[in-house]
Amino acid sequence: MAVTDKQILLPIGVVVRKTPGVTRWAEWCWRAVAVLPGAGPADWRELRCEGEAVEYHAATVTLDLHHTQTESYLEGLRAPVPSVYVIMRPVPAGAGEMPYEVTLVTASPYEAQDYCDTGEEIVEKVPMPEGVIALVHDFVAAHHVEEVFQKRRRDRANVNGTQDGIGDARIPQAADVYRAPALARKERLH
């Protein structure tokens, strides 16, 4: 684990479960089911096998806690089940024997939502282990600054002025379809 004044980097192992698909269109179902804080490097190492279901230590990636995202971490901690989010990206066919690569683990529900919006990655919500909950809570307590809401005031506009259509009134125009006829006559008389 690397700790600086404004950032914590923690290696997190990701456990992915492979089970038989339930439809004819998907032969296998791949889901991130757990995380292992402080895990060593791994590349789809088989952890356990129960019938056709297999669990793999798919990868170890870095959980990055940054001081500018404490509001989103706080929102994640307020959830009924605090969670981390595992982002997996499909591997092109023939590029490897496993169909997904684990690209990111985040404690920020806002960042996970950004990945959900693209629709290209799989985003799995995994319960956060107690040790990680304590770490994120302490980080938020140390770095979170509540922003005070300030209502914006309207500009003081002159609402009594007359509007002479669209365009600059200082520039004489032969015809202006937006100019009110009464104002055009008034200008001709002066």
- Whether the per-residue pLDDT at 84 is higher than 70: the answer is yes
Three-point CA angle 177, 179, 185, nearest 5°: 115
**What percent of the chain lies above the pLDDT cut of 70?**
81
Q: What mean pLDDT do residues 20-37 have?
A: 90
pLDDT of amino acid 190? 58
CA distances to 78, 110, 132, 138 from 145, rounded to whole Å, are 17, 18, 21, 13
Dist CA 112 CA 105 (whole Å) = 9
Task: Give SS3 for 84.
Answer: strand
pLDDT of amino acid 26? 84
Q: Which residues pair with 90 in a beta bridge?
A: 100
Where do the H-state alpha helices sit in the chain? Answer: 70-77, 109-118, 130-143, 181-189
Q: Residue 145: in which H helix or E strand, if any? A: none
Q: How confident is the model at residue 1 (pLDDT cuts 50, 70, 90)?
A: confident
Q: Which tops the pLDDT comparison, 134 or 155?
A: 134
Dist CA 15 CA 21 (whole Å) = 18
pLDDT in tens, 33-79: 999 998 888 888 989 999 889 999 999 999 999 998 999 999 999 99
Q: Which tops the pLDDT comparison, 167 or 57?
A: 57
Mean pLDDT over each residue of the chain, to the nearest integer: 84
Q: Which residues pair with 29 in a beta bridge?
A: 19
pLDDT of amino acid 153? 81
pLDDT of amino acid 168? 64
Structure tokens at 143: 């770095």
CB 21 within 8 A of CB 27: yes
Dist CA 110 CA 70 (whole Å) = 11
Dist CA 77 CA 82 (whole Å) = 5
Q: Which residues pair with 59 in a beta bridge?
A: 14
pLDDT of amino acid 48? 92
